[in-house]
Amino acid sequence: MIQLICLFAVAVLVVVRVPHAFTSEAARPAWWATASGVVALTTYGIPVPFTTYDLFLGSSNITTLVRDLAAVSAFWFFREALARRAGSVGRFGSRWGLAVISAVCVVSFLLIQNKGTTDVAFITNRLDQTFVWIYGSAYMASLIWISLSAILLAAKNWRGVQMTFIIGFTSVIIGCVLEIGYLTASHFGYGGQSFRYLAWNTSELPFFLGLLIIMAGVAWIAIVTPSRRRILVSKLHHIAQQNELSQHGPENLGVVRRLFSEKKMLARASELVRLLDKAQRHGNFHPSSRETYIIGQVKQFLTPDPEFSPMVLGKAA
């Protein structure tokens, strides 16, 4: 069930972020992260059954590898989005790092003996094999590494939505550590099959809970914040009209179109703020407390705090 919720959330973000991903290079890593996340989550049997998915790939459990590579890519690209926000993509942000991690996963997977036919619990049912243990542990370790790096980047400006990312990635790390623990214990003979499934299900809970928390942070930036800004600018436009400071007629026809465009919306907001400030200085505008609050909120996102300008997805949060 939690996988379905995650899939729905990520799919919505993929659709919502498409226009911005095309127009802004800085927003593309976050979009690729969500797109890769969709690929990974669909392998859990929703909406296509796992057996059908694997049948398409040759019924040799390659779906497990596809899922894990897509998950690594999703984490990597989101980490890159955070790095761009922090202005420090650095060596770790190089796509060569992603290539190396992917190569390790592919090689260790190919070394697994007797892969057999389609098996939803492919890893859990073959933990007696050393390369299965290595593959599963390497995959989890790579997610821990990427998540730790993302936390360090988010911690540079830990207020607001950044704290959401820190909590989300921390929960993911807990899930990964639990999974490495059960993989290792099972490989070396501790517990039986029931222990394996119990430990597997236990480790998935904090992992997917962390994903949901991260997606909530992304949704706040991608959907809630832009919507709130447009509502504020729309109210500001209405205030200017009420005080006969904004022209009527043809100009109003383009207001909605302007608010849909991020750049035009910001330009319109700046124009309205200057117009209202000028009118107030000349004594032609006497704002109420509500109007003062709206103007202040618009000014706040036009001139963000230089010490905290969260550009996580290529645009201010």
Mean pLDDT lowest among 36-45, 69-78, 114-123, 133-142: 114-123
Would 119 be classed as within a structural domain?
yes
Q: Examine residue 47 and say whether the peptide bond preceding it is cis (omega within 30 degrees of 0).
A: yes
Mean pLDDT lowest among 35-39, 149-153, 248-252: 248-252
Query: Which of 67, 14, 79 is closest to 39 using CA atoms?
Result: 67
Would 56 be classed as within a structural domain?
yes
pLDDT over 90 percentage in the chain? 23
| Whole-number Å distance between alpha carbons of 81 and 310 | 11
| Whole-number Å distance between alpha carbons of 140 and 61 | 18
- Do 207 and 239 belong to one domain? no
Would 310 be classed as within a structural domain?
no
- Do 247 and 161 belong to one domain? no
Question: What band does 309 get if pLDDT is binned at 50, 70 and 90?
Answer: very low
Question: What band does 311 get if pLDDT is binned at 50, 70 and 90?
Answer: very low
Residue 310 in this model has a pLDDT that exceeds 50: no
- Do 144 and 268 belong to one domain? no
pLDDT tens for residues 9-40? 888 888 877 777 776 676 788 888 889 989 88
154-168 mean pLDDT: 82
Residue 146 in this model has a pLDDT that exceeds 60: yes
Would 315 be classed as within a structural domain?
no
Q: Provide the CATH number for the domain around residue 211.
A: 1.20.1070
The more confident residue out of 21 and 285 is 285
- Do 91 and 116 belong to one domain? yes
- Do 77 and 201 belong to one domain? yes
Segment (H or E) for 255: helix 255-260
Would 309 be classed as within a structural domain?
no
Q: Which of 204, 222, 240 is the last residue of a domain?
A: 222
In single-letter form, the type of residue at position 80 comes to E
Residue 131 in this model has a pLDDT that exceeds 90: yes
Q: Cβ(54)–Cβ(63) under 8 Å?
A: yes
Residue 55, pLDDT score: 85
- Do 146 and 253 belong to one domain? no
Would 86 be classed as within a structural domain?
yes
Residue 256 in this model has a pLDDT that exceeds 80: no
Question: What band does 247 get if pLDDT is binned at 50, 70 and 90?
Answer: low
Residue 181 in this model has a pLDDT that exceeds 50: yes
pLDDT tens for residues 93-125? 567 788 999 999 999 999 998 887 888 888 888
> 236 Cβ partners below 8 Å, 6+ apart?
269, 272, 273, 276, 294, 295, 298
| Whole-number Å distance between alpha carbons of 300 and 1 | 40
Give the number of domains in the chain.
2
pLDDT tens for residues 202-240? 888 999 999 999 988 888 877 787 788 888 888 888 888
135-162 mean pLDDT: 87
Which burial class, exposed, middle or buried, applies to 218 when counting CB atoms under 10 A from its CB (0-12, 13-18, 19+)? buried
- Domain with 242, as residue range(s), is 225-302
In single-letter form, the type of residue at position 111 comes to L
- Do 87 and 111 belong to one domain? yes
Average pLDDT along the chain: 81
Task: Flag whether the pTM goes above 0.85.
Answer: no
- Do 145 and 246 belong to one domain? no
Would 313 be classed as within a structural domain?
no
- Do 156 and 70 belong to one domain? yes
Q: Cβ(170)–Cβ(214) under 8 Å?
A: no
Number of helical H runs and strand E runs in the chain: 13, 0
Residue 307, pLDDT score: 36
- Do 171 and 188 belong to one domain? yes
Question: What band does 242 get if pLDDT is binned at 50, 70 and 90?
Answer: confident
Q: Which of 195, 222, 249 is the last residue of a domain?
A: 222
Q: Which of 222, 254, 289 is the last residue of a domain?
A: 222
- Do 177 and 240 belong to one domain? no
Segment (H or E) for 57: none
